[in-house]
Amino acid sequence: MSMEEENNFIIIENTREDIQKCDDCCNESSSLIETEIGYLCPKCFNDFIERG
């Protein structure tokens, strides 16, 4: 594996670490919001706020 290929692999690997699953819908998201019921994606967070 060349150095360039290794660098590309590391970038992809680091990107995957940033993606986590929403605790409500289990969809993967890189922008989860921490709440008292867990980590939520933006859609589930909006639903959570609307439910009150």
Domain edges within the chain: 3-51
Sole residue written with tokens 């998201």? 29
Residue 12 predicted with pLDDT over 50: no
Residue 10 predicted with pLDDT over 90: no
**Choice between 43 and 8, residue whose per-residue pLDDT is larger:** 43
Task: Label residue 30 by pLDDT band (50, 70, 90).
Answer: confident
Residue 16 predicted with pLDDT over 70: no
Q: How many other C-beta atoms lie within 10 A of the C-beta of residue 41?
A: 22
Average pLDDT over residues 2-29: 66
